[in-house]
Structure 1
Amino acid sequence: MYEKILVAFDGSETSKHALGEALRVARLTGAQLYVAHVIDILAPFGMGLTYVPAELIAAYREGAKRVLELARSEAKAAGMDCETELLQLQGVTDSVADCLHRCATRVGAQLVVLGTHGRRGVRRALLGSVAEELVRETDCPVLLVRGIS
């Protein structure tokens, strides 16, 4: 079945539900769990950004490390080990979905699990959907976990 599962985790309630599902599937299949968090430093500043202060980048990294530690703690509480990885977008044309796709390919993930906010209509058109883009890009199955509202 699955030997390696990648779960995208950003610390949100939706991603916590996705992590829970990934832990259940990993336990059932004996799979190794990888937890990835993507830092998107450019999004809050828009395309006009020419300089990102080093202090801001360091703060994003520290916050991301705390998020990954939370995921590791959740896995440990569930009796599972996991590897964590901090990912960062490679430029203004890169996307979170692209970053997750590269990670899934590199680690040989046979399943990717991520939460979806279930946006519809104009909000989805304006904000886009990481889940939708990842499903189109990746070669392996993607399990989408809807957040509980």
Structure 2
Amino acid sequence: MYEKIELAYDGSETSKQALTEALKIALLCGAQLRIAYVLDVVSPMSVGMDLTYMPAEVIDAYREDALAMLEAAGSEAKTAGVRCETRLLEVQDMSDGVAQCLEREASSYGAQLVVLGTHGRRGVKRALLGSVAEQFVRIAQCPVLLVRV
């Protein structure tokens, strides 16, 4: 059975559903849950722009929001009786990405299962927006559970 589970969390409805599933599995297995939020201030803000500076206040606001979401998710896990810790991760540069950050964290944590929500986009939307879940599945070194709303 699983002893260490990682959950990718961003506060969206799909990640909230993924949290629900991760909690069920963690309770069944007696596993510890690590909830990871990847802060990506590199790619969304720099697409099509020559952005060499982002105000520290903006980055701090993103961090505060992310930490609040992690705290809420961690509280939900603890209320459910699941041993839990949270981690705020950050994309390092343009060659890095959310999926790569999650995989590095899963590997260093020793996760035996990673749970992610997916929006289930198809066609043009998927081609234009990409899919973190799809990218992650391609590079994952452990089993992955995708939760679709």
TM bracket, shorter-chain basis: over 0.9
**Counterpart for residue 7 of structure 1:** 7
Question: Corresponding residue for 1:17?
Answer: 17
**Superposition CA RMSD, Å:** 0.9
Per the alignment, residue 44 of structure 1 pairs with 44
Instruction: Name the aligned partner's letter for residue 18 of structure 2.
Output: A
Cα separation, 1, equivalents of 2:82 and 2:110: 19
Equivalent pairs: percent with the same residue?
65
Q: 2:71 maps to what in 1?
A: 69
Partner-residue secondary structure (3-state), 1:57: helix
TM-score, structure 2 normalization: 0.95
Alignment of 1:133-144 (within 5 A): 133-144=135-146
Summarize the alignment of residues 22-41 of structure 1 with structure 2, pairs less than 5 Å apart.
22-41=22-41
Aligned position for 1:81: 83
The answer to whether structure 1 residue 93 and structure 2 residue 95 are counterparts is yes
d(CA) in 1 for partners of 2:129, 2:30 = 36
TM-score by length of 1: 0.95
Q: Which runs of no fewer than 5 residues in structure 2 stay unpaired?
A: none
2:116 to 94, 114, 117: 114
Deviating beyond 2 angstroms after TM superposition, the runs of 4 or more aligned structure 1 residues are none
State how far apart, in whole Å, the 2-side matches of 1:77 and 1:43 are.
Answer: 35
Residues 42 and 92 of structure 2 are in contact (CA less than 8 Å); yes or no, is this contact kept in structure 1?
A: no
Q: For 2:83 and 2:112, locate their aligned partners in 1 and report how far apart those are by CA, in whole Å.
A: 18
For each residue in 1:94-114, what CA deviation from the matched residue of structure 2 results, as whole angstroms up to 9, or x when unmatched? 110000000000000000001
- 1:78 Cα offset (Å): 1.3
Q: What is the CA–CA distance in structure 2 between the aligned matches of 1:86 and 1:71, rounded to whole Å? A: 12
In 2, Cα distance between the equivalents of 1:21 and 1:35? Answer: 13
2: CA distance between counterparts of 1:104 and 1:146? 21
Residue deviations 1:110-147 (CA, integer Å, cap 9, x gap)? 00001000000000001100000100001100000002
